[in-house]
Amino acid sequence: MIKNNRYWLYVAMAALSFSAASTFTYSAKAQADIGSQTPIIKSYQTGSTATSSGDWDGCPWKVVGDTLTIGETGGKYNITTGTGGDNPFIKDDLEKTITHIKIQGPITLPSDSSGLFAGLEHAVDIIGLDDMNTSRVTDMDQMFVNDLALTNLDVSKFDTSQVTNMWGMFENDEALANLDVSKFDTSQVTSMDSMFCNDNALTKLDISNFDTSKVRNMNQMFLNDNALTKLDISNFNTSQVRDMEYMFSGEEALTELDVSNFDTSQATRMWDMFENDKALTKLDIPNFDTSKVTDMRYMFASDKALTKLDVSNFDMSKVDATSAFGLSGMFAGDSLLCQLKLGNKFDNSALETLPGHQVGYKSFDGNIPIIATGPGWQAVGNGTVDNPQGHLYASTGDFIRDRPIQGEPQPETYVWQQKSTPIKDKYTLDLNENPVSLYQGNQAKNWVPTSVINSATKNGANDKSNVTITDSDGNPVTKDTMAALKPGTYQLTYNNGGKDGTSKTLDLTILLDQAKLDTTDINLYLNQAFSENDLKQKISAVNSDGHTPLGYNFTIKDPDDKEFAVDNIGKISSEKGKYTVEVTTQKPTSGNAALQGKLIINVTGATPNPQPGPTPVPNNNGGGSNNDNHTTTTEKPATPTLPNYAAVKGSAVYATKKIYLYKHGNFKKSQRIATYPKQKRINRPMFVVTGYARSKGGALRYKVRDVNHHSKTDGKKGYITANRKYVVNVYYKTMPKHKRITVINPKGVYSYKTRSLIGQTKHFKKGTHLRVKKLVKHNLTTRYQLTNGKYVTANKKLIIQGSY
């Protein structure tokens, strides 16, 4: 196959004749237009000298002997007429006599400078290119094309900032050994087609700084630069390139070529892209996007040193494999290619030109020899390239026809048929080993032990069903055994693959379900003021943790067992009788059944006699009196009017400073039940509000129950101050300023699927910063919803607003 950038066919013809004067003549380098198939052959006489001159848009030039001089000393020229692709100095076959070019200026070149020095076949040097101002040039198409004898070209001072076309700029400069384009500004260039094509003498080319972000055509860009030993194109931006055919074809001296960063998402043509790169040993192209490519023929043909190739990402859906072109010859002549990685969009017809191999054929994977034991191809499977374990295709024909067999994973690596030894199965186990806490009963019973398995593989295939889960006694963990677990901590062992596999452990804690519903009967006298809030003071429901309030609903039945409207509760004392209040809680976090209870409201005709009250003592914000006098106050029997900041009954509060728990709402040293010193935030004492009282002086008190479960005071009841300098809500009621919270609990916190904190999803360690999008209510508590939609507690003992 003969290829050339302009699709010209070079025909070498020699004609010998001897005249009477013994003058020797010859014909050479004739060009034929393939389109017309009509060769144009010119003859010229060697050794001749010529003198000629002309004017180039106001710039004089002359040829004296073998030297073309452009411009004159002291002259200054501004060329505005474009060249239109034609060399303005060639006429009367002068290109046959010119061997030296001298530029005197300065000369400002026109926007179209295409073909300016084209076809000077015998010119060996161009002196004075620094005097050419290229700042307004946009077209350098074929500027130095077919300057066959040039050995050196100094374009290092060229201003190429406006150039859009560099098509064939240095094409067919066969003797050019040195070319410095390292400072070229190519940011506006859209075509680099054939730019360095057939520059056979170039051994190095620094284009590492080329900006190719606008280039659409790289066809034949480096075609047949067969002396290049290194080419750094790792920074090329090819995101706009459509045409890459013949781009690196014929780079016979290159041993490596880094195209791993190429963006080929717009490419449509890759015909002969790497063809005849005889020394290339590796090619990193697994990220090539070929979804738009229509032609891949001979793409890797005659790459005789190439041993392996990853084309697993190749999408050949746009290639017509049935045409005479398409995929023909894709791997022709790749006699050492012994390893191929293929994907599910690779068309097997591209394999038809794979060279055959027989017993004893030798290739390499790096330094590892690969010796064929037959003509077939084998999938690596769970083995290695030198010890494959997958399916064996007995011949290349079977490989083409049957790949992939049913169940064979894709992508897959295939190697020459070779000797292989069976290997043991390989197992991996990736477990979320964060401790799991579950409440006894339904939550434990419904927990899926395999939910903590991230992956469990056998020979690379993920399959959780192979994992066994046992307790510390070696007994299988099942749904029934989970339901039977009593409170305590257990160690579960996860194993994948038995004794030859891998094992990991998980700590599981079963918590006692402390959900509880308490009710207290109510006695009312006839026409006594009563409200729904008064009723709720006699109902206390806590969740499975023993302190978080648990939501509930209630219904009221009158003395005739008929439903009494809750909206009319203020009139319940208008008639004597017994009213039954039936209470049903929400399901607790444990997943166990909702709690049920009832209380009786007994309305009687008796009116109590008021009792005289003692003299009040001054309020000192929760600290109590420092002297044991005998002055006391009575609590008001009716529900006190509450300020906006007051904690809702059933909600949790904690102390920020030292406080005391008292027997009565009138604080007196002799009536102290317990002392709570000032603590760090995470250890602050916590209480559930069960009612309210006021001293005669008007200070609001909280009636509370101590819920500090690991303390000796746990369960104690009494009164504490409601002063916000000492006692505040445990749960946040506002969003953080920058929508960020920090975990402060030493054991961390979990996120959950629902606001009821059911469906544990992820554990966050102390110090983790979390972004939140809103605050949501759940019964008498609050939660923060994370930006991923999951929920975490808004408990101030566990998290804090902001970043810390």
Q: For 713-736, what is each residue's pLDDT tens digit? A: 999 999 999 999 999 999 999 999
Cα–Cα distance, 319 to 270 (Å, whole number): 11
Tokens of 597: 């209870």
720 and 747 belong to one structural domain: no
CATH number at residue 573: 2.60.40.10
E-strand stretches of 117-205: 125-127, 132-133, 152-153, 178-179
CA distance 399 to 348: 8
What's the chain's length in residues?
804
Burial of 636: CB neighbours in 10 Å, binned 0-12, 13-18, 19+ = middle
Q: Which of 578, 604, 630 finishes a domain? A: 604
Among residues 584, 604, 624, which one ends one of the domains? Answer: 604
Q: Give the C-alpha separation, 284 to 254, whole Å.
A: 14
Looking at the fold, whether 454 and 490 belong to one and the same domain comes out as yes
Contact 478, 447 (CB under 8 A): no
3-state secondary structure of 544: coil
Q: Could you count the other beta carbons within 10 Å of the beta carbon of residue 87? A: 21
Residue 464 is predicted with a pLDDT of: 86
Residue 639 is predicted with a pLDDT of 52
Q: Is residue 797 part of a domain?
A: yes
> Any alpha helices (H) in 295-427, and if so which ranges?
396-402
Contact present, 440 and 447 (Cβ < 8 Å)? no
Among residues 511, 538, 569, the one where a domain terminates is 511
**CA–CA separation, 325 vs 330, rounded Å?**
10
The count of domains in the chain is: 5
Is 156 part of a structural domain of the chain?
no
Classify residue 89: in a domain, yes or no. no
Same domain, 645 and 703: yes
* 630 and 717 co-located in one domain: yes
Q: Decide if 32 is inside a domain.
A: yes
**Residue 756 sits in which domain range?**
740-801
Q: Which residues of the chain are modeled with pLDDT < 70?
A: 1-50, 324, 606-640
Q: Are 447 and 461 in a shared domain?
A: yes
- Do 684 and 776 share a structural domain? no
User: Residue 324's pLDDT is what?
Assistant: 67
CA atoms in the 13 A half-sphere facing the CB of 207:
22
Task: Say if CB 678 and CB 730 are below 8 A apart.
Answer: no
Q: Burial-class residue 360 by CB neighbours within 10 Å (0-12, 13-18, 19+).
A: exposed
Q: Is residue 623 situated within a structural domain?
A: yes
Q: Please write the tens of the pLDDT for every residue from 146-177.
A: 999 999 999 999 999 999 999 999 999 999 99
Residue 270 located in a structural domain:
no
Question: Of 138, 146, 189, nearest to 207 (Cα)?
Answer: 189
Same domain flag for 566 and 636: no
Q: Identify which of 382, 436, 435, 438 has the alpha carbon closest to the alpha carbon of residue 412.
A: 382
- Reduce the DSSP state of residue 137 to 3 states and report it: coil
Q: Which pLDDT score is estimated for 116?
A: 98
- Of the candidates 549, 707, 719, the one whose C-alpha atom is nearest the C-alpha of residue 634 is 719
CATH number at residue 794: 2.30.30
676 and 746 both lie in a single domain: no
Q: Are residues 438 and 542 in the same domain?
A: no
Contact 174, 151 (CB under 8 A): no
* 401 SS3 class: helix
Q: Is residue 114 part of a domain?
A: no
Could you give phi then psi for residue 131, rounded to 5 degrees?
A: -85, 5
Instruction: Look at residue 507 and tell me if it is in a domain.
Output: yes
Radius of gyration of the chain measured on its C-alpha atoms: 45
Together in a domain, 501 and 521: no
* Helix/strand/coil percent split, the chain, to 5: 5, 30, 65
Phi/psi at 525 (5° precision): -95, 165
Reply yes or no: is the peptide bond before residue 375 cis, omega within 30 of 0.
no
- 495/481 Cα distance (integer angstroms): 18
Cα separation, 246 vs 223, whole angstroms:
6
Pairing of strands 516-519, 539-542: antiparallel
- Examine the domain organization and report whether 593 and 654 are in the same domain: no
Single out the residue of 204, 212, 205 nearest to residue 185, CA to CA.
212
Asked if 472 and 449 sit in the same domain, the reply is yes
Diameter over CA atoms, the chain: 157
- Give the residue from 718, 723, 789, 783 showing the smallest Cα distance to 757: 783
